[in-house]
Structure 1
Amino acid sequence: MKKLAIILVLAVLPYVSNAQSYFDKYENMSDVTSMVITNKMFKLLSKIDFESSDKETQEYLNLVENINNIKVFITDNKEVSQKMQGDVGNYLKSSSLDELMRVKSDDGENIKFYIKPGSTDDYVSELFMYLEGNDKKDGPESIILTITGKIDLRQVSKLADDLNIPGGKELKKVKKGN
């Protein structure tokens, strides 16, 4: 029985940690700016006693308490950007993410949002964003954002604004089912 449990865990593990292993290599890569916030940070934030009856503060605390991690990788290096584009394509092919929305801006940015369904219709277990930019001054910019946990899409834009996460403006427009 113990062997069966170990085999089952090993068989499921690649699917559980797929996004993390796909993009972790960018964390220590030169020409990549990265931000990784772990669930320990969110647990710490949720334990802070704000003693507030403010509904918005309580919603924010509920949101961060249920997030496992946030990872952001940004580059304006053309070669790294091309690697990111390839890895994003491979990840999307191998994952069970659903496209949520696409935004193409006048200045050449293409932003795509994907979600992995959660336990209910109001929550998702992963929010994935990929931005391909075309900043004519500095060259192409690519941004990968992945948020995992029990994510309330109605509240996540507030967190993105507070943490100054790229794509936060577009997150305000996100509604599941768009």
Structure 2
Amino acid sequence: MTFKELELKDLILITPNVFGDDRGFFMETYNKDAFYKAGLTMEFVQDNHSKSAAGVVRGLHFQNAPYAQGKLVRTTKGSIWDVVVDLRKNSPTYKQVAKVLLDDKNKCMLYVPEGFAHGFVSIEDCEVQYKCTNLYHKASELGIKWDDKDLSIDWTIKNPLVSTKDQELPYLRDIESILNF
């Protein structure tokens, strides 16, 4: 595996070694030793799997500290633009946005550290799997409205399918004072 820090501090793109032939392929999606050598010493405690139709926007979701979650995200079917926002007030990339293409062809994974809001838009029908560093904690669940004008996120599609729950999320400026990262 190769590990590359992206434009937002501590956001890591992981490219696995894929061994393929006419039968299919094999790859490691997590290797504790490789992650530790790259400085990623987190422990994963929960795995999630979602399926989305083309044109769905999910997010931007996060859990406030002390229940913050780091996420190791990968697409096992289809393709997504994975979108993250750094919410760590002491970070040099605070309130900055990154967008990364994850798909079943490049097989890349994205490590999204604790203190980031996370979401994605499905470019085509897709399945996304992610490992989390903390368990789901409903009382700490927060989010930012997907079309927050202050963040100016280019979701790359018009008229996305967005859940009622995500449509009702607040803008970042309205919750900034309660962030604990």
Fold agreement, TM-score > 0.5:
no
TM-score, structure 1 normalization:
0.32
**Greater RCO, CA 8 A, separation 6+:** 2
TM-score, structure 2 normalization:
0.32
Q: Which is richer in helix?
A: 1
